[in-house]
Structure formats: structure tokens, C-alpha cells
């Protein structure tokens, strides 16, 4: 589906939604969405997190589908896809007026207006509102350091970690700090996808030299999501020359990726070597204390008053990333605006368990059976003490899922697995958790197992 058609369709849908839902609901659930694609009558809609996905599916799916069918009667269904970076369509005047004047919900509404600076930096991202914890302190310290000594200390700086962990915030915060410290610096922030599109466009218009020169003149370059350079031969070639020019001129470069350089497929050795030649810092999943701090920080920013008991409960339930935490907070914020009161802890707990935590319905035996079936092995083999590779991996994945999804304690899992010591379970959990980040096969296996578990409920 062409970009213009996608934008036109979604604009019409949003226009209808704006007439029938409250301002609070519209801004919370629909503002940061877009149409990704349409294939065989199925429209794929980008949403920022799983909370938005579940809410739209449960509450608005029928209405959205009806609005889509008004634009194209052949549309059959909707699929919601969680997307790390969404470009909302430009707002109409009426919508823009609402967004800019609804100061109580400033999480995402004003981004289109703000993101028009020459450097494509969002001034709301800075180091002051970046919550630092054990999970990201190295990446934060390195980003701060390069703004004080650009091009000399850590160059390039390569920050990697999963979706929704704050990599973009950190890059943009570094750019804003550099802009403040060095007003005359030429600063550029860009995603690798936009860079690739720029290369294609410049080739088409015969302006490749001009495009490349605009980057070579940078004093400070930040490129987000460099993993998307994989598979784009011409883009990588041009990027390699730009990188060399900037590096030789001691210009600071920061990259972000969802994985370390060695794990990016179809990336030639010379680029991997360049990426690894400076400082590499990873951002892992936030630990409990950091999740609590993040929720308190964002609640304060949104002027949402939540009891500590509620914040601690959300932090214990939402473990994957910061974006999911913010999605949970957006949900509670919307309830506060609609009901005019803060949800009690019991109300919050009931909503989370019913709407957002279906995984709690699974059982110990169901996890073990699903893992055994997936690897085409006998359930009893998982409980035995065999050290064969074909037995060890399924056993460790079962232990990981029992801890992560069933929330079973390490001693309990050890007891059920033939009386193993709890340290054995901890080792298995940490090993799988670590390998998921570097081994795509294990990551895909676990995703597939979870799809079987939760899809069958």
C-alpha cells in the first residue's frame, strides 16, 4: 500500500474516532498509531506497546474495522503490530489545537510539532529526565562522557539493547546536551531507515554527492537502529565512507542497535570492526527498583497521583521494557481522566489480571508439556539429570519460562525438577536470559512456545 493511501485511510479513521471517543481516550490510545500495510484484505496497524494493542483489540476493534471498511469494502480484518518507531500522520488543525492545548496529557501529543528542529532532536529528551539504574548506568555514563569530550574518549559509542529500553532517549539526550554545550556544532540525528531512504532518493535525483556531504560536515552524528543497515549493500557502502571521514576528523559518532555488532546478520566484517572499535555499552531489562523509579518519574511528569502500592504492583508485573511500563501508566492515566478519580490498588490489580496478564492462567504442567512437545521429546526427560544437549536446552528453557511466565520461585522449580538445588535453576534462567540476546534461534524458539501457550487459551 502506498504511503499516501495509508495516510489518507488512517486520517479518515481517526477523524471518525475523534467524534465518538473522549479527548482523553483519543490522545492516549490513538494519537501514536499508524497504518503499516494492507495485504489480502488485512490491515496492519502500528501501535507503541502491548497495552495499546490489547485495549484497541478489546474495546475499539469493531469500530475501527467498520471505519476502515468505509474506505475499502474489501478489508476483512485488522492485525495490531507493536512497533518501536511510529511516525504519526500530520494532524488536522482541529486535532492539533486539541493536542497542543491538552497540557495534562503531554506524553506523545506534541511530538510532531517539536520534532521539526533542524537536527531532528526532541528537546524533551534530556539527561535530567533519564532514569539511571543498574540496567543502563554504563550506557548513560558513556553518553554523558562523549558530550563533554566529543571525538576523543569513546568514538564511536555503540549502545545496544532490546526494544523500548531508552536507547533513542539516550541518543537524543546526548544530542541536546551537545547542542547546549556547543551551539555552533553541526548536529544530526537520523535513523538508519531514513538514511537508507535518503540514499535511494539521492541516487534517483542524482544528488548523492550533496547528500553525503551533508553528513560529512557533521560535528556530532547519531544514528538509531543501525541493525537495519543489514541487507542494504549500496547504503552500507556510502555509510562506510561517511563514517571513515567523520572518524578521521575526530567527529563524535553514536550508534544504537537492538543487538551487538557481531549479531547483526549480513553485515560485512569491516563495519563490525568499526562499530566495535570504540566503546560498546548494553542496556538490559530494568530491574525492579529501576522500574519503580521509572514509574514514579513518569507519573510525576504526567501529574498522575498513584499510591506506592499500585506503582510497586505494576513494577512487579511489567518487566520487559520501559515502553510497556509507560503503556501501563497511560492506561491508568486515562482511567483517572475518565472516572475523575485514582484507581484503588484492588481495581488496578483486577484490571491488570483480566486485561493484560493472561499468562498467569497457565500452569506448571502446561509449560512443561508445551516445551516438550515443541522439541519433540518426552516430558519425563526434562525432569531427569541427562546432560545430553538435546535434553539440556529444552529443560533450561522450561525452567526459564516457569520462572519468567509462571513466576515460580527457584526452590519450587528445583524441587519439581527431581530435587535440584535452586542455584542450578538460577544458572539455567540466567543462561537462557543471556543467550536470548545473542542467539536468535533461542529467542525465536521461546517466542514460538509462548505463542502456543497463550494462543491456545
Please report, in range form, the residues annotated as the binding site: 164, 166-168
Strand partners, 223: 190, 255
Residues in binding site for ATP = 164, 166-168
Those residues whose C-beta lies under 8 Å from the C-beta of residue 116, and which sit 6 or more positions away, are: none
Decide: helix, strand or coil at residue 87: coil
Match 503531554 to its residue by C-alpha cell.
106
| CA 63, chain centre distance (Å) | 27
User: At residue 72, what are phi and psi to the nearest 5 degrees?
Assistant: -155, 105
**135 close to 286: Cβ distance less than 8 angstroms:** yes
Those residues whose C-beta lies under 8 Å from the C-beta of residue 35, and which sit 6 or more positions away, are: 1, 6, 7, 9, 10, 43, 44, 45, 46
Indicate the Cα dihedral angle 106, 109, 114, 115, nearest 10°. Answer: 130
Residue 361's CB: how many other CB atoms inside 10 A? 11
Those residues whose C-beta lies under 8 Å from the C-beta of residue 119, and which sit 6 or more positions away, are: 175, 179, 187, 188, 189
Separation between Cα atoms, residue 115 and residue 168, nearest integer Å: 13
Amino acid at each position: 500500500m502506498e504511503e499516501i493511501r495509508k495516510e489518507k485511510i488512517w486520517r479518515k479513521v481517526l477523524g471518525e474516532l475523534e467524534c465518538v471517543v473522549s479527548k482523553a481516550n483519543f490522545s492516549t490510545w490513538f494519537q501514536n498509531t499508524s497504518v503499516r500495510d494492507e495485504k489480502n484484505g488485512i490491515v496492519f496497524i502500528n501501535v507503541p506497546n502491548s497495552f495499546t494493542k490489547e485495549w484497541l483489540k478489546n474495546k475499539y476493534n469493531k469500530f475501527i474495522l467498520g471505519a476502515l471498511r468505509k474506505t475499502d469494502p474489501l478489508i476483512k480484518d485488522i492485525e495490531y503490530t507493536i512497533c518501536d518507531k511510529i511516525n504519526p500522520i500530520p494532524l488536522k488543525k482541529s486535532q492539533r489545537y486539541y493536542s497542543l492545548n491538552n497540557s495534562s496529557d503531554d506524553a506523545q501529543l506534541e511530538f510532531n510539532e517539536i520534532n521539526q528542529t533542524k537536527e531532528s532532536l526532541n528537546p524533551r529528551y534530556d539527561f535530567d529526565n533519564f532514569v539511571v539504574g543498574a540496567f543502563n548506568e554504563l550506557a548513560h555514563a558513556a553518553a554523558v562522557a562523549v558530550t563533554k569530550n566529543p571525538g576523543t574518549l569513546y568514538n564511536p559509542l555503540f549502545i545496544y539493547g532490546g526494544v523500548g529500553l531508552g536507547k533513542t532517549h539516550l541518543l537524543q539526550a546526548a544530542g541536546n546536551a551537545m547542542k547546549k554545550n556547543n551551539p555552533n556544532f553541526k548536529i544530526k540525528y537520523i535513523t538508519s531507515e531514513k538514511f537508507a531512504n535518503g540514499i535511494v532518493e539521492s541516487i534517483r535525483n542524482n544528488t548523492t554527492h550533496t547528500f553525503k556531504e551533508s553528513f560529512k560536515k557533521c560535528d556530532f552524528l547519531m544514528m538509531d537502529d543501525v541493525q537495519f543497515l543489514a541487507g542494504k549493500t549500496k547504503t552500507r557502502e556510502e555509510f562506510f565512507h561517511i563514517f571513515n571521514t567523520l572518524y578521521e576528523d575526530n567527529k563524535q559518532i553514536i550508534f544504537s542497535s537492538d543487538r551487538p555488532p557481531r549479531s547483526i546478520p549480513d553485515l560485512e566484517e569491516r563495519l563490525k570492526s568499526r562499530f566495535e572499535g570504540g566503546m560498546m555499552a548494553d542496556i538490559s531489562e530494568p530491574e525492579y527498583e529501576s522500574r519503580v523509579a521509572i514509574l514514579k518519574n513518569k507519573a510525576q511528569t504526567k501529574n498522575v497521583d498513584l499510591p506506592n502500592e499500585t506503582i510497586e504492583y505494576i513494577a512487579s508485573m511489567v518487566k520487559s521494557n520501559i515502553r510497556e511500563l509507560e503503556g501501563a501508566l497511560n492506561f491508568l492515566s486515562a482511567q483517572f481522566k475518565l472516572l475523575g478519580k485514582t484507581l484503588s490498588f484492588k481495581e488496578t490489580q483486577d484490571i491488570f489480571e483480566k486485561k493484560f496478564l493472561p499468562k498467569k492462567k497457565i500452569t506448571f504442567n502446561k509449560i512443561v508439556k508445551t516445551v516438550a512437545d515443541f522439541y519433540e521429546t518426552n516430558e519425563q526427560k526434562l525432569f531427569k539429570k541427562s546432560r545430553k544437549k538435546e535434553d539440556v536446552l529444552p529443560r533450561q528453557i522450561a525452567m526459564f519460562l516457569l520462572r519468567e511466565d509462571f513466576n515460580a520461585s527457584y526452590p519450587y522449580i528445583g524441587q519439581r525438577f527431581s530435587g535440584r538445588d535452586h542455584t542450578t535453576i538460577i544458572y539455567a534462567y540466567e543462561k537462557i536470559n543471556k543467550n536470548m540476546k545473542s542467539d536468535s534461534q533461542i529467542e525465536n524458539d521461546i517466542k514460538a512456545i509462548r505463542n502456543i501457550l497463550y494462543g491456545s487459551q
